């Protein structure tokens, strides 16, 4: 296994594995994962003050953060990454070809470059990135293992690939984009060019896309999924009720799912102890 971060033998003081969705949707996104004294963040679309408020609201300690993982450069995922990285003096882990420097307010951001498809380790975390299909250069998703629990994050992609399905099937917990209701998008206020962007292969996944994918996963004999977290709901083109309605047309609920709130934080903890 390739270990560009070294293998420091980091030990934890607790057996707790937990995570929180600090926010997910059109406005801003951030996900934090913690095991003992180690934690990392995926994306941060919040100001430093708002990030800290949300971390405190779910009782997470920013001092434990070792990395910020970055999926892509759209502002709802990147807006707060630079300031947080500099404030906490932690590196940003991202695709080796992602042009992060073009978005920086200052120069010299500490970044750790990775390649999709390669395995990386920083105890107690192992992870791999995979390409997503989005209108942002070199966008990626993440598949990772923390304390023997496996997660996959698939968001901001206009289509689903065999690699994404493979990683999802290997996971205990899946974060899956359910961005828009096709009905609401077609009838909504967006201009036609923006509707075409969202519907394209470099746009987003609809509720129906998510439902079809969830159904395939549920009926696959190799699936180990315990729960699916539906994320990145559009502010204008989706609602919780629409997600439930459109999922119900295709998906029978074999794997339990949770719809992540757009503007509120969701904490989910003690996974090792609960076995949930």
Buried b (16+ CB within 10 A) or exposed e, 191-214: eeeebeebeeebbbbbbbbbbbbb
DSSP-assigned letter for residue 36: T
- Closest by CA to 42, choosing from 11, 17, 72, 16, is 72
Supply the pLDDT for residue 134.
97
Class of the CATH domain delimited by 17-265:
alpha beta
Whether omega before 230 lies within 30 degrees of 0, making that bond cis, reads: no
For 149, the enclosing helix (H) or strand (E) is strand 149-154
Supply the pLDDT for residue 76.
96
Cα dihedral sign for 123, 162, 133, 256? negative
Ordered by start, the domain boundaries in the chain are: 17-265
Supply the pLDDT for residue 265.
87
pLDDT in tens, the chain (276 residues): 334 444 444 444 345 899 999 999 999 999 999 999 999 999 999 999 999 999 999 999 999 999 999 999 999 999 999 999 999 999 999 999 999 999 998 888 999 999 999 999 998 999 999 999 999 999 999 999 999 999 999 999 999 999 999 999 999 999 999 999 999 999 999 999 999 999 999 999 999 999 999 999 999 999 999 999 999 999 999 999 999 999 999 999 999 999 998 878 888 765 433 434
pTM of the model as a whole: 0.92
- What span, in angstroms and rounded, lies between the C-alpha atoms of 270 and 176? 21
Supply the pLDDT for residue 13.
39
């Amino acid at each position: 296994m390739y270990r560009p971060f070294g293998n420091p033998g980091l030990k934890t003081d607790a057996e707790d594995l937990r995570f929180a969705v600090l926010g997910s949707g059109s406005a801003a996104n951030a996900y934090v994962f913690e095991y003992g004294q180690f934690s990392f963040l995926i994306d941060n679309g919040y100001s430093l003050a708002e990030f800290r408020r949300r971390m405190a609201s779910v009782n997470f300690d920013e001092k434990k953060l070792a990395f910020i993982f970055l999926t892509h450069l759209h502002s709802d995922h990147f807006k707060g990454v630079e300031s947080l990285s500099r404030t906490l003096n932690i590196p940003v882990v991202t695709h080796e070809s992602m042009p992060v420097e073009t978005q920086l307010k200052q120069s010299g951001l500490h970044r750790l470059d990775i390649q999709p498809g390669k395995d990386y380790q920083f105890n107690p975390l192992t992870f791999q990135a995979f390409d997503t299909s989005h209108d942002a250069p070199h966008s990626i998703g993440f598949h990772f293992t923390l304390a023997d629990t496996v997660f996959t994050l698939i968001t901001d992609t206009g289509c689903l690939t065999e690699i994404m399905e493979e990683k999802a099937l290997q996971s205990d917990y899946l974060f899956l984009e359910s961005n828009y209701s096709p009905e609401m998008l077609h009838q909504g206020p967006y201009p036609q060019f923006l509707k075409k962007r969202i519907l394209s292969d470099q746009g987003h996944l609809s509720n129906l896309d998510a439902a079809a994918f969830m159904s395939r996963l549920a009926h696959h004999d190799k699936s180990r999924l315990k729960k699916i977290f539906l994320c990145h709901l559009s502010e204008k083109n989706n609602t919780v009720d629409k997600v439930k309605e459109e999922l119900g047309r295709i998906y029978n609920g074999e794997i339990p799912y949770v719809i992540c709130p757009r503007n509120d934080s969701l904490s989910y903890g003690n996974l090792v102890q609960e076995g949930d």
